[in-house]
């Protein structure tokens, strides 16, 4: 290829990539649906887009979502093209030179000014600088204090690492590290979970043989730790009450060594459908996915007083996962929190009816808001005198996990490096 043809190719690619990102941001700026879903729809509508171009668009979209409020302040506009350019240059690791072929002279000058200003938000309101909506900024200040809120804001401004869970029924962590290294992927043990691996970079592992045969699963370390609080034993009857796509369900099944009976309940069939191929790969034979209409479904009532362990991974605001789902902070407000806390209390109350004396419920969320966590648990204990709070420290120590966050598991992205989770053990005495 001649140098002129190569230059034309580079120019065309720069224009196409930037145009794709601007179109994606425009489509998603309504913030009316989960970002990952909208992005999948966008890519389906653009089947000719190559893998590298898709990665460019996806990374640009999430960079914009993480920094949406400060980018609008720095750029002085909500125009999607200006926001795309600002996100790429300020936070996407893209130089103006790389974009030069797609820029007008006026844009070049404007973007150079943005680059020179950097991320100087000294004159901006504190919530703008923190890239948080006002309601969440204020609430976090009340619950975390200024320093805690600042640490939280810094921790969610970066992309989440890729965490994996080793399927202990099929392999060991050391074997997995060696196998990944042999395929050019660097992985190190996570700090707390004995099954966790943290992978460097952004390798595409979907077709790696160890994923295809169920020896490895994608699962954040915090999510793995919640399963250890449930601590199901072999041969027990266990329910994952809000199973979703089943990440925690599969971890529970491994802890049970595939012995006993493990029900995976969810109200959305599409979510459970995502569990089925993962379950087939896992080697587990004791998992029974079941769609329920609501928390008072007849399938739930049939198990009343018969179950040893119940996990309630309750629907929540997801504020502990904002590294992965930055759109959530822009799509929710105080009204959503109030609606969710009512739903969480109802689900926990219903799930608790399944547990027999001596059994336990583990209530968990991926939220950092006390009204979704401690307040729900305190309200439950006040109205259910047959239950008492257990101690997460004791259960983790039994599993050989040297982590002490108090009687409840309280994980912080800023402190622990994983998604933020809350989990409380509730033991039924009578």
Residues with catalytic function: 366
Q: Rg of the Cα trace of the chain?
A: 23
CB 364 within 8 A of CB 224: no
Please give the full DSSP string across 360-375, using - where no structure is assigned. EEEEEES---GGGTHH
d(CA 286, CA 196): 23
Place of tokens 């989990």: 423
Q: What whole-number distance in Å separates Cα of residue 153 and Cα of residue 132? A: 8
Question: Dihedral of the CA atoms 175, 179, 185, 189 (nearest 10)?
Answer: 0
- Alpha-carbon distance values, 258 to 39, 172, 202, 288 (Å): 36, 17, 32, 11
Q: What phi and psi, each to the nearest 5 degrees, are found at residue 206? A: -60, -30
Burial of 421 (0-12, 13-18, 19+ CB in 10 A): buried
87, containing H or E segment: helix 80-91
Tokens (6 digits) for 129 = 């600088």
């Amino acid at each position: 290829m001649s140098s002129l043809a190569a230059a034309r190719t580079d120019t065309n690619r720069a224009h196409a990539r930037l145009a794709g990102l601007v179109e994606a941001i425009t489509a998603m700026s309504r913030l009316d649906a989960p970002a990952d879903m909208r992005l999948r729809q966008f890519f389906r509508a653009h089947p000719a887009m190559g893998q590298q171009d898709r990665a460019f668009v996806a990374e640009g979209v999430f960079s914009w979502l993480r920094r949406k409020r400060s980018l609008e302040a720095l750029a002085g506009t909500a125009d999607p093209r200006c926001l795309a350019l600002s996100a790429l240059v300020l936070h996407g690791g893209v130089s103006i030179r790389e974009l030069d072929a797609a820029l007008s002279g006026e844009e070049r000058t404007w973007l150079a000014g943005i680059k020179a200003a950097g991320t100087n938000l000294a004159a901006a309101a504190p919530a703008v600088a923190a890239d948080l909506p006002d309601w969440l900024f204020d609430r976090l200040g009340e619950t975390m204090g200024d320093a805690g809120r600042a640490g939280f804001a810094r921790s969610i401004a970066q992309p989440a690492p890729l965490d994996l869970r080793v399927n202990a029924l099929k392999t060991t962590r050391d074997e997995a590290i060696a196998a990944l290294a042999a395929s050019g992927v660097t992985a190190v043990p996570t700090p707390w979970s004995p099954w966790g691996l943290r992978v460097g970079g952004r390798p595409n592992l979907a077709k790696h043989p160890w994923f295809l045969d169920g020896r490895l699963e994608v699962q954040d370390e915090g999510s793995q730790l919640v399963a250890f609080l449930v601590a199901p034993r072999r041969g027990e009857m266990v329910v994952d009450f809000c199973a979703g796509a089943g990440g925690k369900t599969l971890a529970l099944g491994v802890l049970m060594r595939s012995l006993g009976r493990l029900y995976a309940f969810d109200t959305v069939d599409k979510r459970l459908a995502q569990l089925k191929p993962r379950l087939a790969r896992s080697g587990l034979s004791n998992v029974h996915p079941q769609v329920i209409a609501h928390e008072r479904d007849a399938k739930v009532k049939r198990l009343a007083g018969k179950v040893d362990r119940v996990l309630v991974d309750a629907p929540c605001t997801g504020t502990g996962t904002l590294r992965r789902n930055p759109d959530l902070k822009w799509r929710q407000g105080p009204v959503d929190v109030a609606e969710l806390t009512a739903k969480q209390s109802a689900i926990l109350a219903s799930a608790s009816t399944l547990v027999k004396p001596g059994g336990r419920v583990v209530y968990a969320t991926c939220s950092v808001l006390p009204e979704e966590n401690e307040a729900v648990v305190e309200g439950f204990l006040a109205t259910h005198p047959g239950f008492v709070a257990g101690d997460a420290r004791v259960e983790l120590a039994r599993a050989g996990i040297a982590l002490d966050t108090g009687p409840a598991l309280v994980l912080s992205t800023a402190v622990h490096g994983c998604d933020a989770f809350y989990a409380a053990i509730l033991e039924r005495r009578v």
